[in-house]
């Protein structure tokens, strides 16, 4: 469903990372964590391609939702200049999100711009009574965001590759030291992180491969992936969330 949404607020929360709150009726159709929206940045032909951006937070009471994105190309840089009161053309919600399973204790692992959809996921799991532990990985302190928000939902650890914040190293360095018993893991982040997690975690889990998406709309074929069955699928239309082992990473 295409909609013009009102921008309620926008702020920079880390290096090149922006958080935008949008308001509109379309929020009522957003239910599953891990889904994404399609943003059309401009009416000019210059940035006509839509950008897939994950949904970080849904607030049904106020008909608002939050997206967090990295401003790195011309389109998203233009988007980062939008202000309260401007509007944005959004197609939403798209993709298949994370199944919510009623477990006792789950591990949630995010890397970089893969972190945002896990916040809404953790909120919904906490509402179900599921205990969540979070491990968030970034390159450096300047890239860290949402650490405090995740802390309000459960134990939260941060790893940075250069050691400038939290544990020096990768999310797997933190996970190796955790003593808890987990029933399941949920992850979103770079493909290499998902691959290592899938191969080393002695746990079932769900991974989101949203980083691999281009158009996000089934037309560019940038997201085609091989499945463990040996056929090929488009992540944007059949994912981005899959059960561990379903996709060849
Ligand atoms: Fe373009 Fe899937 S991202 S076809």
> Residues 50-70: pLDDT tens digits?
788 999 999 999 999 999 999
Residue 219: CB within 6 Å of ligand 1? yes
pLDDT (average), residues 203-228: 87
Helix (H) or strand (E) holding 2: strand 2-14
Average pLDDT over residues 35-63: 82
**Above 60 in pLDDT, residue 198?**
yes
Residue 114 CA to ligand 1 center (angstroms) comes to 17
216 Cβ inside 6 Å of ligand 1: yes
Amino acid 52: pLDDT: 87
Ligand 1 centre to CA of 232 (Å) is: 13
User: Which residue, by CA, sits nearest to atom 4 of ligand 1?
Assistant: 218
45 pLDDT band, cuts 50/70/90, is low
Domain with CATH 2.40.30.10 in the chain: 2-94
Percent of the chain with pLDDT over 70: 96
The string of pLDDT tens digits covering residues 88-99 is 999 888 899 999
What is the band of 200 on the pLDDT scale with cuts at 50, 70, 90?
Answer: very high
Residue 222, ligand 1, Cβ within 6 A: yes
Distance 216 CA to ligand 1 centre (A): 5
Determine whether the shortest distance from the Cβ of 233 to ligand 1 is under 6 A.
Answer: no
Residue in 54, 95, 214 to alter for ligand 1 test, most ligand atoms within 8 A of Cβ: 214
H helix count then E strand count, the chain: 6, 15
Mean pLDDT of 29-52: 78
- The structural architecture, per CATH, of the domain 2-94 is Beta Barrel (2.40)
For 85-200, strand residue ranges (E) read 87-94, 105-111, 131-138, 156-160, 167-168, 184-188
Residue numbering of the annotated binding site for FAD: 51-54, 68-70, 75-76
Residue with tokens 């939403």, as numbered in its chain: 92
Residue 41 pLDDT > 90, yes or no? no
**Confidence bin at 133 (pLDDT 50/70/90):** very high
Pinpoint the residues of the chain covered by CATH 3.40.50.80.
105-208
State whether the beta carbon of 245 lies less than 6 angstroms from ligand 1: no
168: CA distance to ligand 1 center in Å? 34
Q: Is the CB of 214 under 6 A from ligand 1?
A: yes
Which pLDDT score, from 0 to 100, does residue 112 have? 97
Q: Is 3.40.50.80 the CATH number for 105-208?
A: yes
| Residue 226: both structure tokens together | 């091989």
Q: What is the pLDDT of residue 2?
A: 61
Q: 4 pLDDT exceeds 60?
A: yes
Q: Which residues pair with 7 in a beta bridge?
A: 22
Mean pLDDT of 28-50: 78
Q: 3-class DSSP state for residue 177?
A: coil
Q: Ligand 1 centroid vs 52 CA: distance in angstroms?
A: 10
Q: Which residues pair with 156 in a beta bridge?
A: 134
189 Cβ closer than 6 Å to some ligand 1 atom: no
User: Which two tokens mark 208?
Assistant: 């989101």
């Amino acid at each position: 469903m295409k909609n013009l949404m009102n921008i309620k607020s926008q702020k920079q929360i880390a290096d090149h990372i922006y958080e935008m709150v949008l308001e509109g009726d379309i929020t009522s159709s957003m239910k599953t964590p891990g889904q994404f929206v399609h943003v059309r940045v401009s009416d000019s032909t210059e940035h006509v391609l839509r950008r897939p951006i994950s949904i970080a937070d849904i607030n049904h009471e106020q008909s608002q939702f939050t997206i967090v994105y990295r401003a790195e190309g011309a389109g998203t840089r233009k988007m980062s200049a939008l202000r309260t009161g401007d509007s944005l053309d959004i197609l939403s919600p798209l993709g298949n999100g994370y199944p919510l399973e009623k477990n006792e204790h789950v591990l949630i692992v995010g890397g970089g711009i893969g972190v945002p959809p896990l916040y809404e996921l953790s909120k919904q799991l906490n509402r179900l009574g599921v205990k969540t532990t979070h491990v968030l990985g970034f390159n450096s302190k300047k890239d860290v965001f949402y650490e405090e928000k995740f802390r309000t939902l459960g134990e939260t650890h941060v790893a940075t590759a250069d050691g400038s914040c939290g544990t020096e190293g990768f999310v797997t360095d933190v996970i190796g030291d955790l003593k808890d018993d987990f029933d399941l893991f949920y992850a979103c982040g770079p493909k290499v992180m998902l691959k290592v997690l899938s191969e080393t975690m002695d746990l079932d889990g769900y991974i989101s491969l949203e980083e691999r998406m281009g158009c996000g709309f089934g037309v560019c074929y940038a997201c085609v992936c091989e499945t463990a069955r040996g056929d090929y699928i488009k992540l944007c239309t059949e994912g981005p969330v899959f059960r561990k082992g379903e996709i060849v990473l």
